[in-house]
Structure 1
Amino acid sequence: MDIGLVKDRRLFEHRIGLTPPAVKALTRAGHRVWVEDDAGLEAGFSNEAYREAGATIAWSEDEVLMRTQFIIRISPPAASDYERFQSGQIVLGSWHLAVAPEEGFRTLLDRKLTTVGIEIIEDDDGHAPVLEAMSEIAGRLAVIIGSGLLLNEFGGKGLLINGAPGIPPASLVILGAGVLGREAARFARGMGAHVVVLDRDVQALRRVQRSTPDEVPTMVATRTNIEKALAFSDLFLCAVAVHGERTPVLVTREMLKSMKPRSVIMDLSIDQGGCCETSRPTDFSNPTFEVDGIIHFCVPNLPSTASRASTRALTNSIFPYVMEIANKGFDQAVRDNSALCRGTYTHHGRCVREGLAESFGVDYTPLCDA
């Protein structure tokens, strides 16, 4: 199979879909890999490294798109670029189609693209391997960046997240006890922060307590408890996710009134719309904004700031699926691998994800019948 790696042009996206060792495994298996010129440079992987792995360097994105059947990218292309893909191509990436514009989504169907969302690939046990890998990195980065946002120079109230002798630590509240929230809690407790975690799922809260150095306080995420937690938090981390769907809004603007001035909200659910009513996407050129005296940080795609580490983690997660598609072809791969089936949004002009079809008002076709 002809496989392409393109340079992502989304602002502040520094990763590439596969490392050179993964490309080498594909070429050894008899596949041809085309890599856009300098696509891996920002993640620390040179053209020469890909050449040594057996890839061919293409001098433009258009050349990659023209020569390949299977495209691997990180961020979704702009909706205006959808028509550049060849009809019937397979495109694997972080599509987040639940928050895509309707016109763009219908273009994907018209182009008969097969779109695989790495963020919704899920195995039979309910594990989302790619999302979990990126969430582990995002959870650690959230604590590192959040500790900086508490400082005066970044608009915060001048607190140390881990305190000091005679000085109590800052209060970090985490809404969502999934992989991201759990990793953030573990990492923050290791630094000495005061951590409280909320979730609707008591079993998820038990998993958080088992994974932290000591049993962090937990609360069931009712509206009343969220309001209480907002009142005592210095740093409030939104880490809520619903696979393949828009994140529910759990923090309203009215609820911000209970927060102390210059407290910080980090909405890491922003990739899927955000769980705070006042959230809107930002980037690292201007990462924060203020609403009602509360600092908001809503930068999506946080793992890209550690691009080399994230590319390696991403490759570890997606490579088995890439190789299976390359070796078997897409139709056979999804028959044999239910995780790939769950991770597919569209195929041959049909929407194969039921919740997405309802959202956009199009017909739903189960993948095996698409």
Structure 2
Amino acid sequence: MIIGVPKEIKTDEFRVGMTPSGVMELIKAGHSVLIEQGAGLGSGFEDSLYVNAGGVMLESAEDVYAGADMILKVKEPIEVEYARLREGQILFTYLHLAADKRLTEVLCAKKITAFAYETLRVGRRLPLLEPMSEIAGRMATLFGAVHLGRYFGGSGRLLGGAVGVERNRVLVLGAGVAGKSAADAAAGLGAEVVMMDINTERLTYLRDVMAPNVTMLYSTHDSILECIKTADLIIGTVLLPGAKAPKLITHDMLSLMKKGSVLVDVSIDQGGCFETSHTTTHSHPTYEVDGIVHYCVANMPGMYPRTSTVALTNATLPYAIKIASTPLPALLKDELYVCALNTYDGDVTNEAVADAHAMPYKGIML
């Protein structure tokens, strides 16, 4: 199969869909790889490294899309890329279609076989989401702490406090990979941390492995209402695979919070878990609503593209090889890849995405 790796062009995105070593592995598996010139530069990979690995360097994204049977990316295609998609192509990337009806319609119209990193399941795990969730969780605490600074519009509280000064409070909504990483980082900085989730089994496990300054609470509307009153930093990491994130903090609830506190919405790719969230960029990461600082960058790991690219492609490479090496009818008899499939032959094949946009859903028969 001919695999294409175009340059990411979403604002402030410097990751790349495959490393030179990954290209070498794809070629060893019998495939050809087309690379857009400069695709890896943001992650520190020179064009020559791809050529030395056996990739074919092309000058334009149009050439990559035109020549490839399968496109490997990091982020979902943006509007300028829609016309480049070729009917019947395979697309393997983060899609987050529940937050993007227009892209969903385009993928259906072009009969794209679209596999989403974020819905590929192995048991209860989402292995292609986990590496970026870990990075985004750590970043949520670090950048939340920075934006508590008065210079950035925050309350002027140092997250871990100081000798003779009370420790500040962090509320983490969601106890998955991102939530645990955020809580670990906050606890390490000396904050008082509360983690909330509705999975009591997960909360029990985390109670036994987390630092003593992390408290586990079952998530209800009332418990969230109480905790936001004293929180200095609130990090939202809730995830319903493929679906829009639930709105756990409404606009009205902001009035209960301390002025200058910070909301970090890690769930913004899936529409955000705060009612007042809207997508921001690394260049302009925050805005204020009713005295509350909002940080809602949709591609947080893109801030650290070298680490993020290597971590992501280490996870995606085996699945990319499998998709490229297996006839599609056989691949769609494997439940793992059916879970990852979001659109196929003009239909939405992920029920959560279909529900989000009130579009018809067509399941794949195994």
Is TM-score (shorter-chain normalized) higher than 0.5? yes
1:7-156 matches, cutoff 5 A: 7-79=7-79, 81-102=81-102, 104-123=103-122, 125-156=123-154
C-alpha change, 1:242 and 1:89, in structure 2 (3 Å) is same
Give the structure 2 partner of residue 304 of structure 1: 302
Contact 1:118–1:131 (8 Å) recurs in 2: yes
Is 1:343 aligned with 2:340?
A: yes
1:2 counterpart letter in structure 2: I
Say which SS state the counterpart of residue 232 (structure 1) adopts: coil
1:162-311 matches, cutoff 5 A: 162-214=160-212, 216-311=214-309
Contact 1:2–1:32 (8 Å) recurs in 2: yes
C-alpha change, 1:362 and 1:237, in structure 2 (3 Å) is closer
Q: Using the TM superposition, give the Cα deviation of residue 348 of structure 1 relative to its aligned residue in structure 2, in angstroms.
A: 1.6
Contact 2:90–2:115 (8 Å) recurs in 1: yes
Q: Deviations over 1:155-177 (max 9, x none)?
A: 11222212222222221111111
Contact 2:244–2:356 (8 Å) recurs in 1: no
Q: Using the TM superposition, give the Cα deviation of residue 98 of structure 1 relative to its aligned residue in structure 2, in angstroms.
A: 0.6
TM (norm. structure 1) is 0.95
Q: Using the TM superposition, give the Cα deviation of residue 204 of structure 1 relative to its aligned residue in structure 2, in angstroms.
A: 2.2
Contact 1:83–1:111 (8 Å) recurs in 2: no
Q: Using the TM superposition, give the Cα deviation of residue 332 of structure 1 relative to its aligned residue in structure 2, in angstroms.
A: 2.1
Say which SS state the counterpart of residue 115 (structure 1) adopts: strand
Q: Deviations over 1:207-242 (max 9, x none)?
A: 322332326212211111111111000001111111
Say which SS state the counterpart of residue 35 (structure 1) adopts: strand
- In 1: Cα distance, 2:282 partner to 2:359 partner: 36
1:188 counterpart letter in structure 2: A
Contact 1:209–1:215 (8 Å) recurs in 2: no
2:112 counterpart letter in structure 1: L
Say which SS state the counterpart of residue 284 (structure 2) adopts: coil
Q: Using the TM superposition, give the Cα deviation of residue 75 of structure 1 relative to its aligned residue in structure 2, in angstroms.
A: 1.2
In structure 2, list runs of 5 or more residues that go unmatched: none
Which stretches of structure 1, 4 residues or longer, exceed 4 Å deviation after superposition?
A: none
C-alpha change, 1:169 and 1:303, in structure 2 (3 Å) is same
TM (norm. structure 2) is 0.96
Q: Using the TM superposition, give the Cα deviation of residue 358 of structure 1 relative to its aligned residue in structure 2, in angstroms.
A: 3.3
Contact 2:187–2:213 (8 Å) recurs in 1: no
Q: Using the TM superposition, give the Cα deviation of residue 255 of structure 1 relative to its aligned residue in structure 2, in angstroms.
A: 0.9
C-alpha change, 1:363 and 1:293, in structure 2 (3 Å) is closer
Q: Using the TM superposition, give the Cα deviation of residue 300 of structure 1 relative to its aligned residue in structure 2, in angstroms.
A: 1.1
Contact 1:200–1:220 (8 Å) recurs in 2: yes
Q: Using the TM superposition, give the Cα deviation of residue 74 of structure 1 relative to its aligned residue in structure 2, in angstroms.
A: 1.1
Q: Using the TM superposition, give the Cα deviation of residue 80 of structure 1 relative to its aligned residue in structure 2, in angstroms.
A: 5.2
Q: Using the TM superposition, give the Cα deviation of residue 284 of structure 1 relative to its aligned residue in structure 2, in angstroms.
A: 2.0
Aligned length: 366
Contact 2:35–2:58 (8 Å) recurs in 1: yes
- In 2: Cα distance, 1:320 partner to 1:86 partner: 24
| Deviates further, 39-48 or 71-80 | 71-80
In structure 1, list runs of 5 or more residues that go unmatched: none
Contact 2:194–2:216 (8 Å) recurs in 1: yes
Q: Using the TM superposition, give the Cα deviation of residue 333 of structure 1 relative to its aligned residue in structure 2, in angstroms.
A: 2.6
| Deviates further, 211-220 or 1-10 | 211-220
- In 2: Cα distance, 1:99 partner to 1:20 partner: 32
Give the structure 2 partner of residue 5 of structure 1: 5
Q: Deviations over 1:243-292 (max 9, x none)?
A: 00001111111111111111111111111111111111111222111111
Match of 2:353 among 337, 352, 356: 356
Q: Using the TM superposition, give the Cα deviation of residue 355 of structure 1 relative to its aligned residue in structure 2, in angstroms.
A: 2.6
Q: Deviations over 1:6-38 (max 9, x none)?
A: 001100111001111111111122211010000
Q: Using the TM superposition, give the Cα deviation of residue 187 of structure 1 relative to its aligned residue in structure 2, in angstroms.
A: 2.0
2:227 counterpart letter in structure 1: A
* Identity among equivalent pairs (%): 37
